[in-house]
Structure 1
Amino acid sequence: MFGLEALELARIQFAFTISFHIIFPAITIGLASFLAVLEGLWLKTKRQVYRDLYHFWLKIFAVNFGMGVVSGIVMAYQFGTNWSAFSEFAGSVTGPLLAYEVLTAFFLEAGFLGVMLFGWNRVGPGLHFFSTLMVAVGTLISTFWILASNSWMHTPQGHEIIDGIVVPVDWFAIVFNPSFPYRLTHMAIAAFLATAFMVGASAAWHLLRGNDNPAVRKMLSMAMWMALIVAPLQAVVGDFHGLNTLEHQPAKIAAMEGHWDNSSGEPTPLILFGWPDMEREETRYKIEIPYLGSLILKHSLTEPIPALKDFPPEDRPNSTIVFWTFRIMVALGFLMIFTGLWSLWLRRGGNLFTSRPFLSLALVMGPSGIIAILAGWFTTEIGRQPWVIYGLMRTSDAVSNHGAGQLGLTLAMFVLIYFAVFGIGFVYVLRLIAKGPVINEGNEKGAGGPGEKRTPMRPLSAADEAMPHDHGDQLGERN
């Protein structure tokens, strides 16, 4: 297929499916915690605005959660179908870690999700709030185990290799491997930021269209407080993560920086822009700031960082890709910080909800968190190459013995099915967001769903929004 080998097609297929999947858990993590905060504020203050926002975002959470579960199932199967050699080599470590996720996070979420979605008027407020908290905790526990497994592949420890198979000997060392704390924190904060900017963009869209009500204003206010506080924190965590990566995966850092040669012994400049050329072994057309690379990564004005030529060509990541994915992530991070600071300035002047330039920026920044997450994961995973388990197993040795034709066919099928199924899901979520929160005047009678006395028969009925072909009750007209 297009001259690509089976290994390349297997990697593209995995990258494609996981890129779709990671969007849904990231938003689920953020929305679950957001919902817990909203319900907690409603219980404390009894302000109707928090209740209305809870029911509004619960619909979007329900659809997103369903799409996340469906897309996640595919990932588990791919380990056996396309990466069977990897599963045979390291399954004794990665298998139990994924099983722990099921036993802890999935069971916890499954036990309380139904109460969260449909129990508003069927259980007491305390139990319902507890259910929302448990679902939120479940998403974070799931993040814990997934990041533990993936981080071990980057910084493996706590194991022995016996007869060509990884055998765990210290589970504490395996779980809390050197990169795990930084990567877990970085991902969790990224999920909160992605959700904050999605919520903020939703509010900005309504305000720009003249749909100004207390619920919309509260959405924008809470989202911008999150951006103001968490975006700078993410920059600090990212710096610590970079220092950890420099210690354990120096080739990745060299590729991210597009830095090739230390023969002069001079401190490393920071290359702002350029084009790393893997064949010519240089970064062309570069614009750089002297000393800044050493200052950021070594906290020194004299010590250079590792260079790509320090590693054999077969051990070098593709600098052309990770150089730019890293810069996309960082640039979006600075834009998030700027957006948060601008919101603070407008808030102090009383113009947060009326400044059209700011609202336009907030709207454009809506997908920024998701794009930054994807760029960060591309940087992390492509930067690990050519290793699937760093220093232990090469990606070329991990792939199943399939032909390029088989993988090309399945990749084409994945592309068609994913864009069809999840494309409809994305459109549906956008329709729910466009509808906006409905101000409830205390009328508890309704057609079912969150906050209503009748319980729907289908889980996705929690979204209670009619699809384009549904000309029936138009349940979406009710909250």
Structure 2
Amino acid sequence: MQFLTDTVVLSRIQFALTAIFHMLWPVLTTGMAIYLVIVEGLWLKTRNPDYYRHARFWSKLYVLNFGIGVASGLPMEFQFGTNWAPFSEAVGDFFGSILGFEGAMAFMLEAGFLGIMLFGWGRVHPAIHYLATIMVAFGANLSTFWILVANSWLQTPSGGEMVNGKFIVSDYFQAISNPFMVKSVSHMFFATLETSLFVIGGISAWYILNNRHQEFFARSLKIVLAAAVAVTPLQIYIGHLSAEQVAHYQPTKLAAMEAKWETSPAGQPADWSLLALPDEAGQKNKWEITIPNGLGYILEFKKNLSEPVRGLKEWAPSDRPRMVGLIYYSFRIMSGIGFFLAGLMLWSLLQWLLGNLSPEKIGQQKWLLRTWIFAAPLGYIAVESGWIVRCVGRQPWAMYGQIRTADAASHIPAGNVLTSLTLFAVVYSILFVSTLYFGSRIIRHGPNLELPVPGLDDQPAMETEPATFIPDQRPAEAQQ
């Protein structure tokens, strides 16, 4: 229990708690916003009321996640001033401005158009409403961009140098376009989109499996499946490129990801560890299952094995990541989920091509639907695991190679941090349970398939002909 008196450890645990909790919500909103753009665009093109009702139904889950994301995100940023003041003082000129861009550009853009997206149906022209939905999606994903710019810069600092303990920016745009930025932003973008697709698909499968609105949710399942055909293989490929980047810029993290203790010299392909039990005290793996030469060929194929693959023993214990087992298995969980989701996509695509996802037959695909339900939370687990690899693997550096985590923490009593940590744990637990409760209520209640459609004057439920826009003059309560 010695960690209870260590300010740095407690501050790290507190930041990890707030980050892990907060990340659950924007992961869904950034991807689901794109889905809302798709279904609303399909409604405008076809005037099929099903697409309109999809937009209305899924936007309820969107706004629930948005609200919890805001509530949980603000305390996380305030910790840079309370728990990590020396760090903020050292890098604030750049890091602080990037977080400011995220709030002023992205969050305000998303929040500003959110009201029109939610309550503008029938009050504004459909084109204006669609523009609002696009702006919400753009703002949500712009937020992801700025957050990943900030974090990537901590992974590969560039655009300036440390002078007397403070980072002085000489090239602002070089700092933004740091070596990790492009692949990190791309990897996270597809991660949020993939997570959202399988959440929407899993919820749709639950309705179909329970014989509720089968035709309606067969449509949403096909939409996410069509998107997943492109997203899942791209995510695996970008993940591979990111791992190659880690090998080049952060070899200590790569060694921890692979629980590799000994160096494989140039010209000798390194074995790839499939499973292992790392022993940090003994600087070895107690047991492991390896694929001979696997890691070397994966990482060094294009370089003709011209570089060694360095093991953890190349660095002093104080200069390499701890919790190697956590990093090692987090990476495998993330990668394994990525391949599992790609496999589910292929299975589903095959059933679609065979005609088994038609409204008449889709209910018979019991195991496929159960697998989609099982897959719904896996994207969250993969994203959280990826961030564990990214941030725990960066240790012992808060800013890689420049500022140690131990030097970045504020000098405040450990008891104060323990108190705030406990309060965060309690409040976030309440928020989590409340979100699950209200989210389950939305799902149990289901979509309102009798909801009047703006622009359609008493048309049949499956009317597809274009109609003149007719503003909805009813009170807002009736439109909901």
Normalising by structure 2, we get a TM-score of 0.91
**Could you say which residue in structure 2 is the equivalent of 1:293?**
295
The one-letter amino acid paired with 1:336 is L
**Could you say which residue in structure 1 is the equivalent of 2:234?**
233
1:124-143 matched pairs, under 5 angstroms:
124-143=125-144
Contact 1:88 1:165 in 2 (8 A): yes
Query: Cα deviation per residue 1:437-475 (whole Å; 9 max; x = unaligned)?
Result: 232363779xxxxx884336xxxxxxxxxxxxxxxxxx9
Query: Cα deviation per residue 1:188-215 (whole Å; 9 max; x = unaligned)?
Result: 0000011001001101111111114322
Percent identity over the alignment is 38
**Could you say which residue in structure 2 is the equivalent of 1:120?**
121
**Could you say which residue in structure 1 is the equivalent of 2:94?**
93
**Could you say which residue in structure 2 is the equivalent of 1:418?**
428
Q: Secondary structure at the match of 1:384?
A: coil
Q: Offset of 1:219 from its aligned partner?
A: 1.4
Q: Offset of 1:225 from its aligned partner?
A: 2.0
1:39-438 matched pairs, under 5 angstroms:
39-262=40-263, 266-299=268-301, 302=305, 304-318=308-322, 319-352=324-357, 353=362, 354-438=364-448
In 2, distance between residues paired with 1:286 and 1:438?
A: 54
Q: Offset of 1:162 from its aligned partner?
A: 2.5
In 2, distance between residues paired with 1:102 and 1:191?
A: 19
In 1, distance between residues paired with 2:453 and 2:348?
A: 35
Contact 2:321 2:392 in 1 (8 A): yes
Query: Cα deviation per residue 1:232-280 (whole Å; 9 max; x = unaligned)?
Result: 1101001111111111111100100111102676421110001111111
The one-letter amino acid paired with 1:277 is D
Q: Offset of 1:130 from its aligned partner?
A: 0.4
Q: Offset of 1:152 from its aligned partner?
A: 0.3
Q: Secondary structure at the match of 1:271?
A: strand
Contact 1:325 1:379 in 2 (8 A): yes
**Could you say which residue in structure 2 is the equivalent of 1:464?**
none
Q: Secondary structure at the match of 1:121?
A: coil
In 2, distance between residues paired with 1:3 and 1:126?
A: 56
In 1, distance between residues paired with 2:201 and 2:444?
A: 13
In 2, distance between residues paired with 1:247 and 1:151?
A: 14
Contact 1:108 1:135 in 2 (8 A): yes
In 2, distance between residues paired with 1:366 and 1:263?
A: 39
The one-letter amino acid paired with 1:330 is S
**Structure 1 residues 106 and 212 mapped into 2: Cα distance closer, same or farther (>3 Å)?**
closer
The one-letter amino acid paired with 2:88 is S
In 2, distance between residues paired with 1:257 and 1:189?
A: 24
Contact 1:101 1:142 in 2 (8 A): yes
Contact 1:24 1:64 in 2 (8 A): yes
The one-letter amino acid paired with 2:263 is N
The one-letter amino acid paired with 2:287 is Y
The one-letter amino acid paired with 1:347 is W
Contact 2:264 2:308 in 1 (8 A): no
Contact 2:152 2:181 in 1 (8 A): yes
**Structure 1 residues 263 and 124 mapped into 2: Cα distance closer, same or farther (>3 Å)?**
closer
**Could you say which residue in structure 1 is the equivalent of 2:475?**
454
Query: Cα deviation per residue 1:33-71 (whole Å; 9 max; x = unaligned)?
Result: 111111111000111111010000111111111111111
Q: Secondary structure at the match of 2:393?
A: helix
Normalising by structure 1, we get a TM-score of 0.91
The one-letter amino acid paired with 1:117 is L
The one-letter amino acid paired with 2:292 is P
Contact 2:3 2:10 in 1 (8 A): no
In 2, distance between residues paired with 1:144 and 1:443?
A: 35
**Structure 1 residues 452 and 172 mapped into 2: Cα distance closer, same or farther (>3 Å)?**
farther
Q: Secondary structure at the match of 1:350?
A: coil
In 2, distance between residues paired with 1:441 and 1:143?
A: 34
Contact 1:268 1:292 in 2 (8 A): yes
Query: Cα deviation per residue 1:66-121 (whole Å; 9 max; x = unaligned)?
Result: 11111111111111111111011111111111111222112322321111110011
Contact 1:194 1:368 in 2 (8 A): yes
Contact 1:122 1:453 in 2 (8 A): no
Q: Offset of 1:301 from its aligned partner?
A: 7.4
Relative to structure 2, which stretch is displaced further, 156-165 or 190-199?
Answer: 156-165
**Structure 1 residues 376 and 453 mapped into 2: Cα distance closer, same or farther (>3 Å)?**
farther
Q: Offset of 1:333 from its aligned partner?
A: 0.5
**Which stretches in structure 1 are left out of the alignment for 5+ residues?**
446-450, 457-474
Relative to structure 2, which stretch is displaced further, 123-132 or 159-168?
Answer: 159-168
1:468-479 matched pairs, under 5 angstroms:
none
**Could you say which residue in structure 2 is the equivalent of 1:465?**
none
In 2, distance between residues paired with 1:213 and 1:264?
A: 58
Q: Offset of 1:436 from its aligned partner?
A: 2.3
**Structure 1 residues 162 and 301 mapped into 2: Cα distance closer, same or farther (>3 Å)?**
closer
In 2, distance between residues paired with 1:370 and 1:348?
A: 29
**Structure 1 residues 452 and 378 mapped into 2: Cα distance closer, same or farther (>3 Å)?**
farther
